[in-house]
Structure 1
Amino acid sequence: MYLITKNIYALLIATATFTANYASADQTTIDEIELASQQNNVAQLTQIANTAKGYDAALVNYRLAIAHNIMGESDKAISLLDSAQMILTDEKLSEDKTEVNALLAQVYGYRISIKPITGMYYGIKSSNALESASETDETNPRVHLIKGIIAYNTPNIFGGSKQQALKSLNTSINHYQSDDNLGYQWGQAEALVWRGLTHLALNDVQSALNDWQASLDIAPNYTWPQMLISNNQG
């Protein structure tokens, strides 16, 4: 009897540990991450990172990587991307595979923006992850958002295209209208910022301003579109 009880106890402990490490994405945490990121609140992002698990932890590490890179701390940013990548490539991670591969593609892509010399290596990895995400759910708005970001940032000589970016971002924004993947919902306001940047690159300033204002309608305290409007009005 003691042995059976002991084995059951050990199983419960193991289950609790697994749950702590590989908890499913939580929409409340996702919303907190996005709000802190939109306000460039590194302290809040760091606090969330201390307790986040699974997909949430990968997303907050990715957002922190962006923040630290903007502050000129590229080594810290790479370390955070390492953490996000490790989580997303863990075979034990029990999360929506489309969402995991989409975020993983962007993590790889952001590594390239920090260290362009790694472009060939991580470019292939990013492309493969994004292709896997598309195959499992071609209507996922974050898949098309990341396609748009990659097309925008990739030089034309390597297959990038502002027109292709615009097409992908249009598709992303349309799919956000019916996004029901609770626990993974993020990026709608960001998609509008990127489409605005694409319009600007195509010399359509008014459409850019319209998109940035639409982004603020969704996320009123989002500092990025605020700055872009201020810099491009009049």
Structure 2
Amino acid sequence: MYLITKNIYALLIATATFTANYASADQTTIDKIELASQQNNVAQLTQIANTAKGYDAALVNYRLAIAHNIIGERDKAITLLDSAQMILTDDKLSEDETEVNALLAQVYGYRISIKPITGMYYGIKSSNALASASESDETNPRVHLIKGIIAYNTPNIFGGSKQQALKSLNTSINHYQNDDNLGYQWGQAEALVWRGLTHLALNDVQSALDDWQASLDIAPNYTWPQMLISNNQG
């Protein structure tokens, strides 16, 4: 009887550990990640990363990678992307397939921006992950956001296009109006920043300013659109 009870207890502990490591995405945590990222708060992102699990952990590691890369800590950024990639490609991860593949595509894409020499290798991986995400849900706003980011950042000679970026970002922003995938919602204010950058690249400064202001209407403390407005007004 004692042995049976002990075995059941061990099973419960193992189940609890598995649940902790692969818990479903939590919108409250994602909101905290996005707020800290928008304010470039590395300390807060690091604190969240210490307890985040599953998809949340992948997202916060991706956001931290951006923050560290901005301040010149490229090796740290790559290590964080390694962690995000490991989580998102783990067969034990039980999360929304579309969301996982969309974020994975962006993790691969950001690797290229840090180390362009890896473009051939990670470009294929990013494209495949994004294609899988699109096939499983063509209305997901983050899928189109990432399509837009990739089209914006890819040189024309390799298939990039500012016009294609604008098309994808328009689609993304439209789909954000009906985004009901609670637990994975992020990127709406960011999509407006990227569309503004695309307008700017296409020499439409007023539309760019309008998008950055719309981003601030959603996220008033977002430092990126604040800086872009300051740098491009009058």
Q: Do both proteins adopt the same fold according to a TM-score greater than 0.5, normalized to the shorter chain?
A: yes
1:4 Cα deviation (Å)? 1.5
CA–CA separation in structure 1 for the residues paired with 2:113 and 2:209: 25
Higher mean C-alpha displacement, 143-152 vs 4-13 = 4-13
2:203 corresponding residue in structure 1: 203
Report the TM-score when normalising by structure 2. Answer: 1.00
2:140 corresponding residue in structure 1: 140
SS at match of 2:60: helix
1:217 Cα deviation (Å)? 0.1
CA–CA separation in structure 1 for the residues paired with 2:108 and 2:185: 20
1:194 Cα deviation (Å)? 0.1
1:10 Cα deviation (Å)? 1.1
CA–CA separation in structure 2 for the residues paired with 1:70 and 1:35: 17
1:6 Cα deviation (Å)? 1.4
SS at match of 1:117: helix
CA–CA separation in structure 2 for the residues paired with 1:150 and 1:197: 13
1:216 Cα deviation (Å)? 0.1
CA–CA separation in structure 2 for the residues paired with 1:190 and 1:68: 18
Q: Please list the CA deviations of residues 118-145 of structure 1 after superposition, one character each: whole Å capped at 9, or x if unmatched.
A: 0000000000000000010000000000
Give structure 1 regions of 4+ aligned residues with deviation exceeding 6 angstroms. none
SS at match of 1:145: helix
CA–CA separation in structure 2 for the residues paired with 1:43 and 1:2: 47
Is residue 169 of structure 1 aligned with residue 184 of structure 2?
Answer: no
CA–CA separation in structure 1 for the residues paired with 2:151 and 2:77: 22
1:37 Cα deviation (Å)? 0.2
1:26 Cα deviation (Å)? 0.2
CA–CA separation in structure 1 for the residues paired with 2:28 and 2:204: 36
1:51 corresponding residue in structure 2: 51
1:2 Cα deviation (Å)? 1.6
CA–CA separation in structure 2 for the residues paired with 1:10 and 1:147: 45
Q: Please list the CA deviations of residues 203-233 of structure 1 after superposition, one character each: whole Å capped at 9, or x if unmatched.
A: 0000000000000000000000000000000
CA–CA separation in structure 1 for the residues paired with 2:5 and 2:233: 70
1:98 Cα deviation (Å)? 0.3
In angstroms, what is the RMSD of aligned CA positions?
0.4
Gaps of 5+ in 2: none
CA–CA separation in structure 1 for the residues paired with 2:214 and 2:233: 15
SS at match of 2:203: coil
Report the TM-score when normalising by structure 1. Answer: 1.00
Gaps of 5+ in 1: none
SS at match of 1:92: coil
Q: Please list the CA deviations of residues 35-93 of structure 1 after superposition, one character each: whole Å capped at 9, or x if unmatched.
A: 00000000000000000000000000000000000000000000000000000000000
CA–CA separation in structure 2 for the residues paired with 1:58 and 1:47: 14
Q: Please list the CA deviations of residues 133-176 of structure 1 after superposition, one character each: whole Å capped at 9, or x if unmatched.
A: 00100000000000000000000000000000000000000000
1:3 Cα deviation (Å)? 2.1
1:64 corresponding residue in structure 2: 64
SS at match of 1:185: coil
- Tell me how many residue pairs correspond in the alignment: 234
